[in-house]
Amino acid sequence: MRHRIPFLAILCLFIIACASQQSNTYKTKGVYHSVKKGETISDIARAYNTNPGKLAEINHTKSPGRLEENSVVFIPDAISVLDIEKPKKSGTKNSQTQSVQKKAETGKKTPPPSRQQDIKPGDQGKNLAASSGPEVKKPIRERTGGTEKEKPKDVSTPQTPLLPQEPPPSANSAAKGSFAWPVRGRVTANYGRQPNGMVNNHIRITARDHAPVVAAATGTVIFSAPLRDFGETIIIKHDNQFATVYSNLGNRSVKADSRIKKSEIIGLAGKSEKKGEGYIDFEIRQNNKARNPLLFLP
């Protein structure tokens, strides 16, 4: 009898543990959502971050459309019931309409930007037509019956020049022969548009290899260093807003801020592909605009 009491106690504990384990096994986690007017399986699945297909399968819903109001949908693994807010379609349409109207007004009010040509020293191959924008004239206001009315003028597109435009002559313009030839040789590439369509801001002077290069006029060296795509380069500032540019030099013998006299040696011509020959690219600029050097050389 003494041995039966511990045995029965152990047996009771075992039965209770099995019963509690069995009841926990069949307990399912989730909530029941009460369907409001207009709600669909997709709306509910989106709110609870679950798959609409699985949700419809669990609740035996055949139609994915609107559910019956006040019906119940079981949401597995959910912790609490959520309120689903339907997005307002009218507000969306209004916002889309306003967005389209703003874009249309922006397109009407914003004129195309006009670009001005600014060719760097020795720059080659840039088409002037790509940098020339249409000239848009301002509308003229006329008064009719006490009110002002805008009368736009015709928009004209300038023709593409064959050569870079020369600025109009002024009192500060240098006369022909005011600049000296920077090196003795022959011109092998002219200023302006080339037969292959490229545009030169310079002339190319072919000379013997390592021929001395001189300053075309008196001035101050403002740049003396290698320049990408142009090689060893020197820029000298002169009076009346003029500057001369010497690129593809073999070497440079002057430094920045140096005061240079006309015909003073500043470097040597660089090598060319042909043996024994060299060349330099020479520019004359006024107010930072390229000019044709042949108009100023003797």
Asked whether residue 175 is domain-assigned, the answer is: no
Q: Mean of the per-residue pLDDT values for the chain?
A: 74
- Give the CATH number for residue 289: 2.70.70.10
Q: How far is CA 210 from the centre of its chain?
A: 43
When divided into structural domains, the chain yields a total of 2
Residue 94 belongs to some domain of the structure:
no
Contact 188, 226 (CB under 8 A): no
Could you read off the pLDDT of 153-198 as tens digits, one per residue?
544 444 434 444 455 545 456 678 899 999 999 999 999 988 888 9
Query: Would residue 109 count as lying in a domain?
Result: no
Classify residue 181: in a domain, yes or no.
no
* Structural domain for 249, as ranges: 186-295
Assigned domain for 205 exists: yes
Give the pLDDT score at 108. 52
Give 4-57 pLDDT, tens digit per residue: 545 445 545 454 454 444 444 444 568 788 888 888 888 888 888 888 888 887
Predicted local distance difference test score (pLDDT) of residue 8: 47
Domain end (from 86, 102, 123): 86
Residue 285, in any domain of the structure = yes
